[in-house]
Amino acid sequence: MTPEEYTFNQAVALLQQGKVSQGIELLKPLTHNNEFAEKVLQIFFKVAMQQQDTETAIAYCQQLVSIAPTKLDYVLTLVQLSLSCGEFKIAKSALLPLYEANPKQADICFQLGKVERKLYNADAATRYLKQAMQLSEQFKVPALIEIAFMHNEQLHQPDEAVHYLEQAIIHDKNNLQAHFALANIYEQLGHKDKAKQGFQRVLAIDALNAMAQARLADIETFSERDAIDYEQACLTILKRESDDIASADLYYALGKVFNDCKNYQKAWHYYVKANQYNKKYLPKYVRQSVEEITDFTLARNITLQEANSSITPIIICGMFRSGSTLIEQIISSNERIAAGGEIAYLHSSLFNLIGDVKALVKKAKLPEFVNGYIEQLTLRSEGAQYVTDKRPENYLYLDIIKQLYPKAKIIWTERDIKDNSLSAFFQHLGPSLNYAVSLSDTLHHYEQQQRIKSHWQSRFGNNDIFTVNYDQLVCSPEQVLVPLFSFLGLEYNNEARSFHNKSGAVSTASVWQVRKPLYKSSSGRFANYLEYIQSDEESYLDAKKLLNS
């Protein structure tokens, strides 16, 4: 036995005994040994995965791919890990050599198509996905679904997406993903009956599908009798459901249906359970980290050149659930304004650089970055002069936006913070909105936003930032909208009376609310739940500061 073999066997024995750090230290020198490097890296990869250290696992997988670039298992593992972390360029770099060596292998073409879609390279994605379809019948339906996602989410062509999903269903009539995606698009387009039928079709194929059952709750307004029937259907699924995310979906849905029929005690019970499940898998809201982001933003003082663009963004920011979608629908009823929705580009490009002002400035000056945002605006403009961007986190980048687009206007939506906190608590939100599972954390996030808002107001003034109060808007729309349109340099033409009939997709939690005329029932909503918050010790302690605000 060679010394290297002895060391390897000794390290493996230590790992089997649970002495991970000792085993790893013994193995490290063998990563430079051609005979043992691959085996050692396999072990390192498995250990990193067991420790849920995805970033390190990706690094080890990259090394394995560099040693054996044609091993499909290594490449596909790297691709899946990279996709799960949003590292799409790593996935593409791993796949391209494999594709060049095997251009007629359908699964490689399919994976490349998925990656190119994630990178917003529509032409390349379509080419690879269609190639996968031609090479293998196995990939026909998955490729059609991927192409549909691209048309809906990136090219903003929902009708094309519907076409591809219908083709997928022709080839596989019981494909759950295709039926669910089709129902989702119909919901975004405001086609209530088609959306309802689509989710019911999913349940006809899979009676215990929690997501489809939950989505039905948003489509209808429930009576007490309907709510009880719906409750029984959800509880049947919950008895067998082991997934925390799916369980949270159903509890949020149950809260919504009992809120509809004004059974606020039962609604609160289910909303609390929903947030308990949501907390299990969301990252913890760390107040210190949020305060540091605020401090970094307030301290920034940078200079950028104006972008060369014929389109001007209208930035709508503020707290989630404060009326931003409603305002977007109203102002984009004007033919000179196109609804851009929540454009992820700025936040996804800049957020990780907030703590490093030099890196942030370097990124913001790159022509690729500037042109990338212009492309996103152009894609949504439909020939309009202005495009809204209502990504909530854009309040962090107003200095960058105003330097790139000096004529940009900022609309800041606000709402009674008690109602706002409650509305966020009632929604199943993702990791970036993890404050929503706690009423006091939502108040803390609001307070940090207000610090930043005051800073921008002192810097840009009232000619560039207009505050829209949701409660004032629904009570006296013209008192808000006439000066708002004047602020935008446009004339108000009674858009408040017609916005709910506006066609086009809406892809936020307010999808059905903004299809209705203005209503006041959400103002003062906190009062409906005050008794139940106060009678629940944990909820009361969480909401104590909010109650006094």
Query: Could you tell me if 440 and 546 are in contact, meaning their C-beta atoms sit under 8 angstroms apart?
Result: yes
pLDDT of 360: 96
Q: What is the pLDDT of residues 245-281, one digit of tens each?
A: 999 999 999 999 999 999 999 999 999 999 999 999 8
Cα separation, 78 vs 41, in Å, equals 13
pLDDT of 508: 56
Write the class of the CATH domain 287-547.
alpha beta
Place of tokens 């004007």: 334
- DSSP letters of 351-396? GGGTT-HHHHHHHHH-HHHHHHHHHHHHHHHTT-SEEEE--GGGGG
Cα separation, 409 vs 452, in Å, equals 17
- Residue 266, C-beta contacts closer than 8 angstroms, at least 6 positions apart: 258
Query: Could you tell me if 206 and 176 are in contact, meaning their C-beta atoms sit under 8 angstroms apart?
Result: yes
Q: Put the strands of the sheet holding 465-469 in their side by side order.
A: 337-338, 386-389, 312-318, 409-414, 465-469
End-to-end CA distance of the chain: 74
Q: What is the pLDDT of residues 466-523, one digit of tens each?
A: 999 999 998 898 999 999 999 999 998 887 777 655 556 565 555 655 545 556 667 8
pLDDT of 33: 85
Number of H helices, E strands in the chain: 28, 5
pTM across the whole model: 0.84
Task: Using DSSP, state whether 157 is helix, strand or coil.
Answer: coil
Burial class of residue 501 in the structure, from the number of CB atoms within 10 Å of its CB (0-12 exposed, 13-18 middle, 19+ buried): exposed
Q: For the chain, give every domain's residue range.
A: 287-547
Place of tokens 């089997």: 16
How many Cβ atoms sit within 10 Å of the Cβ of residue 519? 10
Q: Mean pLDDT per 10-residue run, the chain (549 residues)?
A: 84 85 87 88 89 89 88 86 85 88 92 92 95 96 97 91 97 97 93 95 96 94 95 96 93 97 97 95 94 97 94 96 91 92 93 95 96 94 94 95 96 95 94 94 97 95 91 91 94 78 57 57 87 90 88
